[in-house]
A and B are shown apart, each in its own frame.
Chain A
Amino acid sequence: MPNESTRDSGQEYERHGLYDEANEHDGCGVALVARLNGVPVHETIQRALASLCNMEHRGGEGADAMTGDGAGISVQIPDRLLRAVSGLELPELGRYGVIVCFLPQEPRRRAELEQLLVARVEAEGQAALGWRDVPVRPDQIGRVAREAAPVIRQLFVGAGADAADDEAFERKLYVIHRSAEIASGEQLTIPSCSSRTIVYKGMLAANQVPRFFPDLTDERMESALALVHSRFSTNTFPNWRLAHPFRLLAHNGEVNTLTGNVNWMRAREAQLESALLGKDLKKVLPAIRPRGSDSATLDNALELLVRAGRSLPHAIMMLVPQAWQGRKDLPPELVDFYRYHSCFMEPWDGPACVSFTDGQVIGATLDRNGLRPGRWVVTNDGWVLLASEAGTLVIDEAKVSRKGRLKPGKLFVVDLARHQVFADGEVELEVASRKPYGKWYRAAAVRLADLPEAAPLSGEEPDTLRNRQLAFGYSEEDLRVLIAPLAAHGKEPNGSMGNDIPLAVLSDQAPSLFHYFKQRFAQVTNPAIDPVREAIVMSLESALGPELNLLTETPEHCRKLILEQPVLDDAELARLRHPDQDLLPTRTLDMTWALSAGPRGLRAALDRLCSEADTALDDGAALLILSDRAVSAERVPIPSLLAVGAVHQHLVRQGQRLRVGLIVESGEPREVHHIACLLGYGAGAVNPYLLFESLDGLAASGELPKTTDVAEARSAVIDGFTAGLLKVLSKIGISTLHSYIGAQAFECVGLDRDVVEPYFTGTQSRIRGVNLELLGREAIQRHARAYPKGPARRDAPRSGEAKLLPTGGNYAWRRNGELHMWNPETIPLLQSAVKPGQDGRAAYQRFARAMNDDAARRSTLRGLLRFVNAELPVALDEVEPAKEIVKRFVTGAMSLGSISPESHETLAVAMNRLGGKSNTGEGGEDSVRFNDERRSAIKQVASARFGVTIHYLVNADQLQIKVAQGAKPGEGGQLPGHKVSPLIARLRHSTPGVELISPPPHHDIYSIEDLKQLIYDLRCANPEASISVKLVAEAGVGTVAAGVAKANADHIVIAGHEGGTGSSPLSSISHAGVPWELGLAEVQQTLVHHDLRSRVTLQADGQMKTGRDVVVAALLGAEEVGFSTAPLVATGCIMMRVCHLNTCPVGIATQDPELRRRFTGTPEHVMNYLFLVAEEAREIMASLGVRRYEDLIGKTQLLEIDNTIEHPKARTIDLSSVLALPVAPADRPRRKVRGPDPILDGALDHQIIADAALALEQGQQTKLAYTIRNENRAVGALLSSRIARRHGANGLPAGTLEVSLTGSSGQSFGAWLASGVELTLIGEGNDYVGKGLSGGVIAVRPSPESSFAPEDNVIVGNTVLYGATSGRAFFSGLAGERFAVRNSGASAVVEGVGDHGCEYMTGGVVVVLGPTGHNFAAGMSGGIAYVYDVHAALGERCNYELVELEAVNPDDITLLQTLVSEHQGRTGSPLAGRLLASWERECKGFIKVMPRAYKKVLAELAARTGPMTAPASEPVRVAAAPLKVSA
């Protein structure tokens, strides 16, 4: 039915410029309510809607404030109401269904669609009983929503005779709605179609739902369960059908693996069979509606599984399995269940809170990482409530019988038939025990070790090694810089500084195809994962080989090759090829083509590969090996990625893909990125044989450490690859290789449609670029280097017979290597231009010419553009003066830590004198700098929250949330121990000499609504600062930026992939993210399109060097421009690229005192440079006829494509999408003209501040009391801000202000609470309690009326005490995931924690009086945790990478007693009371969790100086004057 699928793609879909609706994301609030007795009542709906309204702050608000992003409710069929209002004679409940339809306003088309539906109903043998117009009140909703509103009608369907039971009827309804959708295209949306459930939803804000649908407030509307959802989308593109709930689920999350999942589902369709659906099955295919949102797509898959006979929990467990690999604590049946199902369903991976109902059961589950919150309550009068936040409904505490939270990967199910709540794995176990999955698996699964051994292929004599290396484009640098370190250390090598080489599409060096692919990464809408510290959720296991019918289960379903990781060595491949190996027959296809066929032979060769694959399948092959071992003087290797893409996509299109596994045997891949690309486009395993062979060569020539033998080197390489792959997966938030395979988590930069569409179908490639023939030509060019004989030889003669590889030059400049923008010409030119006391203009002009006219044109997208000069230029002196323009300049976020204090302060002084801004970077800032010229106006808030105290926050003009960094988006950072000097350690609240880890994500930003919360928190902490969010360019950054604008930010930074770093894996520097030109243009277009541009300032950054760069950035939309590398070069940086080694010879990127003395930079250097840049910009402005900088912003019509560039590759690029003007009315603002809306007006803190005036002003002891709701967020932050501003870092004297609050607090309770304030919360807290705690005291205790045992119930949510630096906190009850993550100084007592407790902690004390979750103390390099390990479970759950367990000593016991006593005193904890009552005995039950390095340093310090004291500040030589703030 090919026609249907094209028609289904519809016409509404729009694409203009770089904005692409397909990139939209959403996050949300969800809630469900159920009555255990199963009796439908109206109150259920009331409660659910009230709960939804109380999460209003989680939803988004667009340019039209009245228009919400979407909200809705799913309930049981309200039989009483429908009977009364439908005007139809309805059969008994269960024998009729309701099809809820969104129909077009246009009457004729609507009538057609209605007829179509009725016809479908009748064709399926059911009765179309009649239509009902759903009453709606359009006046209650926003203009944008109203204009896009569909006609909402309900079609009643009576069960036909063949629908014997209600399951059969539901199946029929499924067939009806799916086939109607297929036939109708996108104009018809069917929110629900069931005899059990009904959905009301729309493009509404949460509180509009009951107002818009009068049905919902009708008392006759009754249900025993309800599922509600409110959406926060990155867009405001009017779209009703994206609202939740869907037919079976509502989803708060992101499916990161969606492309792969959709492809695999499509591939599965050819072999689907279902006894239940029978012949109807083909009517519902394709089962996945094209271009649905990720949630809609997941719903499609779920529906197929359920309608084909699996139970709802079973289907959910298949699609969103929990982390089971290597888990010893799970029941074996459950592991077997997951293992079995992994043979034919890859996880739909990403952060998720999936709530679901089929009208009989209702429940929810979290993704394996637990990246969305979910809190539940069961009352003793039979209600169950679950919501994204605690406290969305006010519930009488006395009635609460249990409180809990959703846990990673676990199901929470309310079964109305059984009147029971299952929260502890009962349902999973029930499902897992249905069949002998384990037995089946063990009988059929194939492991390499089971296969016969065989001699590996060598074939080639070693003396052709060099030729073959040349043919695959190897350079000496590959061997020296990438491979040798990998083989020696089993780790990808690190590098530093930015990427200043050309895009692959502009390179003359015939880069490999891999280099056109950029890794995608998570930012804001879902978090990256830490693959090292959180390895427990990660897995590289995959199952390779034919996959059987998804809709049945048989033992044969596991006849697959199980691989622990995807890199095969030669011996392993040989086993698969062994002639006696008949479990999974293999076939090898030749991945080379005849040189004689020339560049055009490549296409024919790909066609041949595909048809050979078909033949091999017909012959029964289960594994296809694509091999380029046949490379020779006559045969050219096909780029391996191209071959994989071609065969994979061909087989997907043919519906044959699931019949085989693909293995690549290639000489080409030699980097993590290469392997990742091959897997991402469908290969299941890779044998990089030439890499292994090269190791022999390296070993033979002594290039590996003498201690390494080749076998060790090989396994080190595989280790390095697996670690690297985990990093690549985790940076986009994918946990398992199984779902990464084929997920196409890449963006192409510079490939033409004739490459992307057939072979990398669905991958974004936005500027076109080289075509297949050019790729063929470059492959031949590489081949010619290897086999230079023959008349076509062009190479220079070589010295004798020594076969040396080309030297390379990607990572360090080489004369015959790749172009670098920073090179031996340009660096000294810039340095001589800024020398004080001389007019550097001439040198600067040469510098600018070298950069603009030469380097940029050969390496960057902006180099391909030229200015459209005005016919009447303006005189230079009419152009805004340079001193105004430099105010728009900032220096980049380079932490003190990555660079030396001298260097850091030089930048700050320079920027303050200019009126621009410098940035602290993520390392905090010494408070002695706050009041003088060395102050950084921008204070960064990064994932590790180093030094982020309330005092730091109030001293900023701008607070910048670093979501990602250009050099390594999606990754955390590491400051190696040798750079953690005493000063750095003091500022970061850590221990000198101990390595510091920054987590990949902010643990309080897993979604867009989380970001909105953090922005709110920071506004409270410093209401006068603007809030900036730093993003990195990738496809879709525009929609992320739209979400950020809607989340109330003032300022957005778009960093290009070319940005610098103090330390990153080399592959990240080179292969993640895209140029800022693409990102900035997309953001500008998207923000204008959604009318969000007026509220935010845009800043661009990434390899900015010249006035031309500045003007291009402005024309593409940037108000401000960031510079990092260039100012460093001005102060002496010579691009050593050793920042990560602490050996910077010019004293910039080092903490070594001896090297710091070599620093000779001055603020004048930086100022002179930026003035020269501004002057150049002015000259360009004059020629453009533009007088004021602000008149440049967004004027892409002043740029055009420079068609004088002759470079054959450059000419293939099409930048028209970058220059496209947004579709928007002409008068819509293109730049910031106003601020974001004020959001702090309703804060509870205003009241507290007023009431506490005497405490704040005079330090008078004050006690206050309030009630609190979940809508009162970040309570205490605004108060603390006042205190810090007035009293500095020390705050108020201890105990000055005591505030008690009763109720459920909103998120971020007590954020950055300052010293002298004590908050006591009676009730419960949500996520982020005590975030950044800065000296205050927090206590949370249950209501005195509650009847449950506190220690068994959840009292606070996830990510409590994140980044706390000092103070104390006490929690009488259980906390969620990541308790005390990145704590660096606070003391806390809690009665139990979830997974990842004390993660990345560097200081402070945590006492856990009860159970700990998995992965306790991961990445904990400092501080101490004590666990009262009554269940003796800590041993298994602790992560021992950095810590060890010890018995407590007398000092510990004293400390514990003090803290536990205070806990008991502040919270009345019965548990603490019991412990203290028999302290002598109980104190021995504590186990001490001690970081090894921390212990060592403490011991050394104790030996030297007695107890540990903070080291004194080191003198710094930069001259600084007190800061004069100019008006």
Chain B
Amino acid sequence: MGDPRGFLAIKRAVTGDPRRDPGERVHDYHEVIHLLPVPTVKEQARRCMQCGVPFCHRGCPLGNLIPEWNELTFGGRMRDAIERLHSTNNFPEFTGFTCPAPCEPACTLEINDDPVMIKHVEVSIIENAFREGWVVPRPPAHRTGQSVAVVGSGPAGLACAAQLNYAGHRAVVYERDEAVGGLLRFGIPDFKLEKKVIDRRIDILRAEGVEFVTNADVGVSVSVKQLLVEHDALVLAVGARLHRELGVPGARLDGVHLAMDYLYDRNRAVARGVEAQVDRHEKNITARGKNVVVIGGGDTAADCIANAHREEARSITQLDRYPAPRGTRPREIVGWPNAPRREVSSYALEEGGERLWAAETLELTGKGGKVDGVRISQPEGERLLPADLVLVAIGFTRPERDACLTQASVQEDDRGNVRADHYATSRPRVFACGDARRGASLVVWAINEGRECAAVVDAYLAAQR
């Protein structure tokens, strides 16, 4: 049962994630996080107290069995650790690199010490498993002969397809872009999640029997009706990509872009090799040499800032509409065991740039239809910031009402998401999960949604046999 005195003997190795030196990493697109040596990770796992009530386990939307794999890691049973981890999380490498880790502020040690490096233990377990060759395709032993179409290849769609496949169903994933992964691939920069990590996992899924159809814009290139003819069930995992409107004068000026458009462009560029030509998908947004203002205080904003650093912007300013939080630790901000909505400091700001707190955007100014400044109000007064590029990262509202959802003709809830209380939509045989169902959220929630939805679909299919 772990080491009951481990937390007294060992201190947390690093506050937050172990990251490469900002001065170094800002010049490349490799992961910001660097992996600690396995012996260090084992020692860190020893800090886990094996709580009678493991708040981390509840803090994790997936219900990851954190005490279990901490104990296994501490005990050196890395292979059992990956089994345990995989039992609740299909893609620990995705969460291990990108999750804001609500488990850590929920860790009991957060009360009066530093929490266990749960997220880092997670990523270390899976990365070690890949290195050791333990992550191999495990196709199901039996096939049911039933088939499910999954629309969308983000983390929810992938998790759902993977689980359905394990259950013996044929799972076909339809993706409108040129490659699978959804926001994982196009919304998250390489320096947070290198794309080879996604490819590596997709290869496994494929080998297990999951089928992928890219450039398949459901509703356009293939109809919902057609899918319902070919498959026994349909899962909508199309995300919630309709962005929130900034709603101030000047929002339509040139040089004002949605953060996601910028990130898609940058990710595609990086995937191609940064120096190569623009491809047909890109809008060719760049921050190089510009005064960049990023509006928004969340992860997407941080990713924009970090990208802008790597493009060598002239200046970068982040506008956060909320005042600076009172403390520096989650328990001071929101109270243990809750997770704070946003981080006090992000990896991106370590690399440079400035954050203005309590900064309300009043107006974007411009000349000749092109943006040149942002007028803001702060408690101390109004000011005008120079800006050549304004990136709007203030979140998403709901799924896009595109051809796919129109054809699916499923009911919406009052926030405009697909109504699917227990993953089943208003339309027979059609299910929904992920951001499309719950609104924009974390990767870890998406995976959870995908898994739970798969269980519902599986039960439905079992009943049909």
Contact = CB atoms under 8 A, between A and B. Distances in A.
Contacts of A1143: 4-5, 7-8, 49
Interface string A1126-1154: 00000010111110010101100000001
Residue of B57, B106, B454 with most chain A CB atoms under a 10 A cut-off:
B57
Contacts of B111: 1132, 1134, 1145-1146, 1158
A1327 to B, nearest CB: 43
A1286 interface: no
A1404 to B, nearest CB: 34
B369 interface: no
B7 A813 contact: no
A703 to B, nearest CB: 8
Nearest to B60: A815
Contacts of B1: 480-481, 485
Interface in B79-97: 80, 83-84, 86-87, 90
Contacts of A1155: 8
B337 interface: yes
B463 to A, nearest CB: 9
B86 A1145 contact: no
Given A485-B1, A797-B455, A1158 B50 contact: no
Residue of B1, B71, B142 with most chain A CB atoms under a 10 A cut-off:
B1
Given A813-B52, A824-B53, A1138-B4, A802 B86 contact: yes
A804 B52 contact: no
Given A807-B68, A1145-B49, A1146-B112, A701 B80 contact: yes
B75 interface: yes
A113 to B, nearest CB: 63
A791 B106 CA distance: 40
Contacts of A450: none
Contacts of B166: 797-800
A485 B1 CA distance: 8
A703 B77 CA distance: 9
B295 to A, nearest CB: 34
B53 A822 contact: yes
B75 A702 contact: yes
Interface in A682-713: 701-703
B86 A800 contact: yes
Given A798-B87, A800-B86, A1146-B112, A702 B53 contact: no
Interface in B241-261: none
Interface in B360-380: none
Nearest to A1159: B112
Contacts of B106: 824
A796 B461 CA distance: 12
B108 A1134 contact: yes
Contacts of B77: 701-703
Interface in A308-325: none
A813 B8 contact: no
Contacts of A1138: 4, 49-50, 52
B323 interface: no
Interface in B1-50: 1, 4-5, 7-8, 49-50
A1158 B108 CA distance: 13
Nearest to A1140: B4
A47 to B, nearest CB: 63
A707 B1 CA distance: 17
B63 to A, nearest CB: 4
A828 interface: yes
Contacts of A453: none
Nearest to A835: B335
Nearest to A1146: B111
B276 interface: no
Contact of B163 (A789, A794, A797, A1146): A797
Contacts of B108: 1134, 1136, 1145
A804 B83 contact: yes
A789 B1 CA distance: 34
Contacts of A507: none
Residue of B5, B59, B113 with most chain A CB atoms under a 10 A cut-off:
B5
Contacts of B59: 824
A1473 B427 CA distance: 104
B462 interface: yes
Contacts of A801: 138, 140-141
Contacts of B142: 789
B163 A812 contact: no
B72 to A, nearest CB: 9
B83 A1136 contact: no
Interface string B146-187: 000000000000000001101100000000000000000000
Interface string B431-465: 00000000000000000000110110011001001
A163 interface: no
A832 B50 CA distance: 24
B54 interface: yes
A1143 B108 CA distance: 13
B455 A802 contact: no
B67 interface: yes
A824 to B, nearest CB: 4
Contact of B52 (A497, A703, A796, A800): A497
A812 B108 CA distance: 14
A1143 B50 CA distance: 11
A1262 interface: no
A816 interface: yes
Contact of B53 (A804, A820, A1146, A1154): A820
Contacts of A1141: 4
Given A799-B90, A804-B84, A813 B53 contact: yes
Contacts of B290: none
A869 interface: no
Residue of A480, A797, A1134 with most chain B CB atoms under a 10 A cut-off:
A797
Interface string B109-140: 10111000000000000000000000000101
B462 A793 contact: yes
Residue of A793, A794, A1141, A1145 with most chain B CB atoms under a 10 A cut-off:
A1145
Nearest to B459: A794
Contact of A802 (B76, B83, B140, B458): B83
Contact of A828 (B4, B65, B87, B336): B336
B329 interface: no
Contacts of B454: 796-797
Contacts of A789: 142
B81 to A, nearest CB: 11
Contact of B112 (A804, A828, A1145): A1145
A814 interface: yes
B282 to A, nearest CB: 37
A827 B53 contact: yes
A823 B55 CA distance: 8
A793 to B, nearest CB: 6
Contacts of B76: 702
A1134 B87 contact: no
Contacts of B310: none
Interface in A483-527: 485, 497
A802 B49 contact: no
B168 to A, nearest CB: 8
Contacts of A802: 83, 86-87, 138
Interface in A376-430: none
A476 interface: yes
Contact of B455 (A796, A815, A1160): A796
B231 interface: no
Which 10 interchain pairs have the tightest Cβ spacing?
A1137-B52, A800-B138, A797-B167, A796-B455, A824-B58, A815-B63, A1141-B4, A1143-B4, A1135-B53, A1135-B52
Given A796-B455, A798-B166, A824-B59, 8 more contacts: A797-B454, A802-B87, A813-B58, A820-B53, A822-B53, A1134-B55, A1135-B52, A1145-B113
13 contacts: A480-B71, A789-B142, A791-B465, A797-B454, A804-B87, A811-B52, A824-B58, A824-B59, A828-B337, A828-B338, A1136-B51, A1138-B49, A1145-B111
